[in-house]
Structure 1
Amino acid sequence: MNLRMPSEDELPPGATRAFVEELFTYFKEGERPRLQDVANQTQVSRETVRRLLRGQTFSRWETINRVFEDFCKRAGINPDERRYPQWGEASPSRRQYLKNLWNKAVDEPLPDAIPEEDSALPPDW
Structure 2
Amino acid sequence: MPRMLRMPGKDVLPPGPKRELVAELYVHCREAGRPPLPQIAALTGTMPNPYEVSRETIRRLLTGTTTSQWVVVDALLRALCQMRNWDPDGRRWPEPDDRYDDDDPTTCREYLRRLWNNDIDGLEPDEAPVAPPAAPAQTASGWGTPSTAVNQAQQAPGGWGGSASSPQVEDPWATGPLPNAPAQPAAYSDEPPF
TM-score where L is the length of structure 2: 0.53
The answer to whether residue 118 in structure 2 is matched with residue 104 in structure 1 is yes
Aligned to 2:148: none
Task: State the match for 2:24 in structure 1.
Answer: 22
Deviation at 1:41, TM superposition (A): 1.6
- How many residue pairs were aligned? 108
Alignment of 1:1-125 (within 5 A): 1-42=3-44, 43-85=52-94, 86-88=101-103, 90-108=104-122
Task: Write the distance in 1 (CA, Å) between the matches of 2:20 and 2:86.
Answer: 20
Q: Which has the higher contact order (CA 8 A, sep 6+)?
A: 1
Query: What is residue 184 of structure 2 aligned with on the other side?
Result: none
Q: Distance in 1 between matches of 2:67 and 2:83?
A: 23
Distance 1:83 1:40 in 2: 25
For 1:39 and 1:94, how far apart are their aligned partners in 2? 20
TM-score when normalising by structure 1: 0.81
Q: How far does the alpha carbon of each residue in 1:75-110 deviate from its partner, in whole angstroms, 9 at most, with x for none?
A: 12111111244434x42111000000000011117x
* Structure whose alpha-carbon radius of gyration is higher: 2
Aligned to 1:122: none
Distance in structure 1 (CA, Å) of the matches to 2:29 and 2:114: 18
Q: Distance in 2 between matches of 1:40 and 1:93?
A: 25
Structure 1 segments of 4 or more deviating over 4 A?
A: none
Find the counterpart in structure 1 of residue 140 from structure 2.
none
Which sections of structure 1, spanning at least 5 residues, go unmatched?
A: 110-125
Q: CA deviation at 1:37?
A: 1.2
Q: Report the residue type matching 1:78 in the other structure.
A: D
Q: Higher helix share goes to which structure? A: 1
The Cα shift of 1:2 comes to 0.9
RMSD: 1.4
